[in-house]
Amino acid sequence: MTAPAFARDRVGTTPLRPRRSKTLLIVMVVYAIYTLVPLVWLLVNSTKTQAGLFSSFGLWFSDDFAFWDNLVQTLTYNDGIFLRWLGNTLLYVVVGAGGATLLATLAGYGLAKYRFPGRRAVFAIVLGAVAVPGTALAVPTFLLFSQMGLTNTPWSVIIPSLISPFGLYLVWVYAADSVPTELLEAARMDGAGEFRTFFTISIRLLMPGIVTVLLFTVVATWNNYFLPLIMLSDPQWYPLTVGLNQWAAQAQGAGAQPIYNLVIMGSLLTIIPIVIAFLLLQRFWQSGLSAGSVKQ
């Protein structure tokens, strides 16, 4: 069994024929343009007023540059509800994704490094649950939480976010390879408790795997839509995703008050932090993922 392919010990690209292919480049450029067009559209249109949206070509700027005006309007509309939604999202991400990563790390490590009664049952139950569509459970979860008085509180969004079977799987595979059992034995000889060993030694070895899990749980909670949609009825607790969709829905129906420019600016503000996080941490998630796939 080889150590996970980390960082730069092996660049896995085919080492043969460094001759570049023009055809390949053109095909990939076309695909990259397809990928980027909606994002460029969003960026360009965030500079337009509502009137400008209708009177100008979609992928080019209109005469009036209203980017800052849109930004201020978005942040102050309806007594600054957008900032409230941003705060809610941050709360759900910090507690939900942070908690999910912690639980997945502890459990994945426990599964990888300890033989305990019921270990196989835990494994079977968790893997089996992954096959059950998450949304199939949404309605009963709502009813259950509603009986417990949890709906329409932050807990109704946070608690279900705490479980990441994919994160558990990743840490478990990762821990099996990167934490030598001999090291744990040695720590035990020295009289260190199990949790002390974990928090002082193992956690460092696990760090790239943990960052990967954290990144994916952050994306999952930041982008979460279905769960808060059914759990929350009070806009004061909405995350950005549900709030934005509510803004967008204002444009339809009787008494419609379209605020397209705010929806577009709000969308842009919603994706910027997550895109930056991904770009900054790409070294981690790429190495963490390739470690996970060693065992597929």
For other proteins, the binding residues in 82-121 under the rule CB under 8 A are 103-104, 106-107, 109-120
Q: Looking at this protein, which amino acid is placed at residue 219?
A: V
For the CB of residue 12, give the shortest distance to other proteins in the complex, in Å.
3
**Site map (CB under 8 A) of other proteins, residues 141-180, x = contact:** xxxx--------------xx-xx----x---xx-xxx--x
CA–CA separation, 270 vs 251, rounded Å? 20
Min dist CB 94 to other proteins, Å, is 17
* Interacting residues with other proteins between 227 and 246 (CB under 8 A): 230, 240-242, 244-245
Residue 286 as a binder of other proteins (CB under 8 A): the answer is yes
* CA-wise closest residue to 84 among 259, 294, 242, 196: 242
Q: How far is the CB of 231 from other proteins (least distance, A)?
A: 11
126 binds other proteins (CB under 8 A): yes
Please tell me the number of Cα atoms within 13 Å of 188 on its side-chain side. 6
Contact partners, residue 103, CB within 8 Å, separation at least 6:
162, 163, 164, 168
| Residue 208 in the binding site for other proteins (CB under 8 A) | no
**HSE, side-chain direction, 13 A CA sphere, residue 287:** 19
One symbol per residue from 1 to 40: x for binding other proteins (CB under 8 A), - otherwise; what is it? x---x----xxxxxxxxxxxx--xx-xx--xx-xxx-xx-
Distance CA 213, CA 130 (A): 16
How many residues touch other proteins (CB under 8 A)?
Answer: 121
225 binds other proteins (CB under 8 A): yes
CA distance 216 to 167: 8
